[in-house]
Chains A and B, each alone.
Chain A
Amino acid sequence: MLKYSQERFVGIMLTALGLIVAAIYISLSYGIFDLTFAEVVKTLFSQGNGEYDVLIYQFRLPRIVIAGLVGVGLGVAGAVLQGVSRNGLADPGILGINAGAGLAIVVFMFFYQGKLAGSDWFSILAMPFFGLIGGLAASILVYLLSWKNGRLDSQRFLLTGIALGSGFAALSLYITLKMDPTDFHTATVWSVGSLFHANWQYSISILPWFLFLLPIIFWKAHILDLFQLEESSVKSLGVSVGREQVILLLCSTGLVSACVSVSGSIGFVGLIVPHLAKSLTGIRHQQMIPLCAMLGMLLVIVADFIAKNIFAPAEIATGTIISLIGVPYFIYLLFRSKA
């Protein structure tokens, strides 16, 4: 009890918040063009007449905001998926939800050729919807194929997800190969997870999903606690297991799809973040899920900063940086879970 007290939780949340603020400040001030602290503050509070307005408001800030949102979405979705599937190795990427959403978006790009770079509102708002359709189709398929003896089999859940995910990725690749060269380039960069195209419209297009789905997930957090027991215990407590699983799965799929539509397929956030959160704050989802949101935000902002600057002026995909951290961590988890 003392190990995971309320005070400790508040302390961890405040520390994470502090780190996020620091990461945002660093991302705002460092880059191809460095700004001083005074310049950053002045620009942020000068309401549109500072020297560096364009740099900050058009380039750096929207990208940080998107990175933050994507981190929140993927971190929380990962925690929910691990809870629902009772499998610590579940992750939107591994479960094929990214790939499904990605496929739908690639299809959308394919039929909406040449208009990707533009900032036309229809395509920007439509992308999360297409992502959602693809993501939902993927998660429903995975869910249905994982039923065994009238219950969700967590081993099957993971394996079906991996298999379907590879299938969707292959289809996406096939379609991107048929695109014209400019679209192809955009699509490939996007498919490894990049925030290169970040802009304010993207943030606005995914914000409604967050505002709608995150409260439902926070409200259902105590159900995720119960899911840590065996299915027969959970049923005996009067939880409609199937229904709650579907609701939580749909919520996390919605979040993931919205993220994928603006950032492409960034993997491993949903895997690393919940484990980190659990080791910091314990297994109570009422605390763990908000912490996942904070840690996800921090991870993606930092990763995106590294991706932008490590080989500047050349840029590598944010997803690549996270994978570089995520793969060894994943292997570490595999080994630890065996022990």
Chain B
Amino acid sequence: MDMSILRTEKLQAGYEQHTVFQDLDFSVKEGKITTIIGPNGCGKSTLLKTMGRILKQKAGNVFLYNQDLRSLATREIAKKLTLLPQNPVGPNELTVEELVAYGRFPHLNQGQKSAIADQKAIEWAMDITKTISFRQRELGSLSGGERQKVWLAMALAQETAILLLDEPTTYLDMVHQLEVLKIVQQLNRQRQCTIVMVLHDINHAARFSHEIVAMKEGHIVALGSPQEMITPEVLKQVFCIDARVMLDPRDGVPVCFSYDNLQTEKETIGGEA
């Protein structure tokens, strides 16, 4: 087995009786940004949550630095890996700085030296997310975009090598979406953070990831570089759409500029009964 930062082996997970996926083998590339794409209900979020031990697997293993996740104390895991859930909520009265400081929880109680390290990490997290200018404001008074950056700052204050982000751009306007993804990119470049995120926007996936993983009905159907993945063939296989893709003349990144339904075509041709 290769030495992998985060890897699943014959993983099975789901909710109550419902199994979302089984026998899933997946290995995260260290120091890279990996984006999971796929239709709703394909198991992207479930995979992310199981890798982040938020959801308990039904069978199989998750290995963090080749150690079984279940054999590690949850607090030790929190020093290496963090997960930002979809639409996190917190008390409205909490100030930005207080919420970001929560991110230091796994590092608490380690003496005087750590108090300085804690403050440094908090300042850094607020700085990189550009939330430092409104550090005293309460969560309830922030816009959706500001709030998402504050949550990201909390996750960053944990100072983990791995970040799992579950749809970090959902419900944000296009400027804030871009801002969040730029922060992610900056983290990867400056701190060599390993990032795994779930995105719905395939153009964002293409532009900001090193590797794209496509899931469908609980299986990984394809994975590779954006150039390999954002193609009419793959998108047809994953989303059942007829996508039109071209390369951005400026940087060669594939862009899906329009798409249509496959079924309608079939119907006009005559299809199956």
The residues of A with any CB-CB pair to B shorter than 8 Å are 1, 4, 149-150, 222, 225-226, 228-230, 232-233, 235-240, 282-284
Q: Is B88 part of the contact surface with A, judged by Cβ < 8 Å?
A: yes
B97 neighbours in A (Cβ, 8 Å): 1
Partner of A237, one of B16, B78, B94, B98: B78
Contact with B91, one of A1, A235, A236, A283 (Cβ below 8 angstroms): A283
* Most chain A CB atoms below 10 A, which of B54, B75, B89, B97: B54
Which residue on B lies nearest to A4, using beta carbons?
B93
B136 and A232 contacting across the interface, CB-CB below 8 Å: no
Contact A228–B56 (Cβ < 8 Å): no
A232 to B89, CA, bound (A): 10
Most chain-A CB neighbours within 10 Å: which of B49, B56, B88, B102?
A: B102
For the complex formed, measure the closest distance between the CB of B75 and the CB atoms of chain A, giving whole angstroms: 4
Q: A1-B136, A225-B102, A230-B85 are in contact. Are A240 and B56 (CB under 8 A)?
A: no
Chain A contact surface mostly: loop
In the complex, are the beta carbons of A283 and B93 less than 8 A apart? yes
Given A150-B56, A232-B49, A283-B93, A240:B16 Cβ within 8 A:
no
Main secondary structure of the interface of B (DSSP, over half): mixed
For B93, the closest partner residue in chain A by CB is A283
Q: How far is the CA of A235 from the CA of B83 in the complex (A)?
A: 9
Residue of B nearest to A148 (CB): B16
B76: chain A residues within 8 A (beta carbon): 238
Which residues on B sit within 8 Å (CB–CB) of A228? 90-91, 94
Beyond A232-B83, A238-B77, whether A226 also contacts B93 by CB under 8 A is no
Q: Which of A225, A236, A283 contacts B85 (CB 8 A)?
A: A236
Would A230 and B89 count as touching, CB distance under 8 A? yes
Whether A235 lies near B53 (C-beta < 8 A) is yes
Which residue numbers of B lie inside 8 Å of A, CB to CB? 15-16, 49, 52-54, 56, 74-79, 82-85, 88-91, 93-95, 97-98, 102-103, 105-106, 136, 154-155, 158
Residue on A with the closest CB to B94?
A283
Q: List 7 A-B contacts (CB under 8 A).
A: A1-B97, A228-B94, A229-B102, A235-B74, A237-B78, A238-B74, A238-B78
Roughly how many angstroms separate A29 CA and B155 CA in the complex, as a whole number? 57
If A229-B88, A282-B93 touch, whether A149 touches B15 (CB-CB below 8 Å) is yes
Q: Which residues of B contact A230 (CB under 8 A)?
A: 85, 88-90
Are A236's CB and B89's CB within 8 A?
no
Q: Which of A230, A236, A238, A282 has the most CB of B within 10 A?
A: A236
B16: A residues at CB distance < 8 A: 149
**Given A149-B16, A237-B102, A238-B105, A229-B90 contact (CB < 8 Å):** yes
In the bound complex, residues from chain B placing their C-beta under 8 Å from that of A240 are 74-75
- Give the docked Cα–Cα distance between A282 and B138 (Å): 12
B158 / chain A contacts, CB cutoff of 8 Å: 237
Considering only CB atoms, which chain A residue lies closest to B95 in the complex?
A: A1
Task: Give 6 A-B pairs besides A233-B90, A235-B74 with Cβ atoms closer than 8 angstroms.
Answer: A4-B93, A229-B90, A232-B83, A237-B106, A238-B79, A283-B94
B104 to chain A, nearest CB (A): 9
Measured CB to CB, the closest approach of chain A to B80, in angstroms, equals 10
Cα-based distance from A232 to B48 in the complex (angstroms): 12
The 5 A-B pairs with the shortest beta carbon distances in the complex, nearest first, are A238-B78, A238-B75, A238-B106, A232-B85, A236-B83
**CA of A259 to CA of B95, assembled, Å:** 36
CA–CA, A230 to B83, complex, Å? Answer: 12
Task: For residue A238, give the distance in angstroms from its CB to the closest CB of chain B.
Answer: 3
Complex interface: chain A residues within 8 A of B103 (CB): 237
Residue of A nearest to B49 (CB): A232
**Quick one: which of B56, B78, B94, B136 contacts A236, CB cutoff 8 A?**
B78
Q: Which residue of B lies closest to A242 (CB)?
A: B74
Q: Which residues of chain A are within 8 angstroms of B91 by Cβ–Cβ distance?
A: 228, 283
**Known contacts A230-B85, A230-B88; is-contact A237 B93 (Cβ 8 Å):** no
Shortest distance between the CB of A143 and any CB in chain B (Å) = 18
A235: chain B residues at CB < 8 Å are: 53-54, 74
Question: Are B74 and A233 in contact, with the CB atoms below 8 A?
Answer: no
Contact yes or no, A236 B52, CB < 8 A: yes
Bound-state CA distance A248–B134 (Å) is 34
CA distance A238 to B95 in the complex (A): 21
In the docked arrangement, what's the CA distance between A283 and B94, Å? Answer: 8
Q: Which residues of B contact A226 (CB under 8 A)?
A: 102, 105
CA distance A234 to B249 in the complex (A): 44
CA A184 to CA B15, docked complex, whole Å: 51
Q: Report chain B residues within 8 Å CB of A236.
A: 52, 54, 78, 82-85, 155
Residues of B within 8 A of A284 (CB): 98
**A232: B residues at CB distance < 8 A:** 49, 54, 83, 85, 88
In the assembled complex, which residues on chain A have CB atoms less than 8 Å from the CB atom of B105? 222, 226, 237-239
The interface residues of chain A lying within 8 Å CB-to-CB of B54 are: 232, 235-236
Complex: how many Å from CA A13 to CA B49?
43
Q: Which residues of B contact A282 (CB under 8 A)?
A: 93
Q: What residue of chain A has the Cβ atom nearest to residue B98's Cβ?
A: A284
Q: Taking CB as reference atom, which chain B residue is nearest A150?
A: B56
- Report how far A235 CA is from B77 CA in the complex, Å: 10
What is the distance, in angstroms, from B138's C-beta to the closest C-beta of chain A? 9
CA distance A232 to B85 in the complex (A): 7
- Determine the residue in chain A with the shortest Cβ distance to B135: A1
Least Cβ–Cβ distance between A24 and chain B, in angstroms: 33
**Separation of A249 and B269 alpha carbons in the complex (Å):** 65
Hey, which chain A residues are within 8 Å of B75, CB to CB? 238-240
Separation of A236 and B102 alpha carbons in the complex (Å): 11
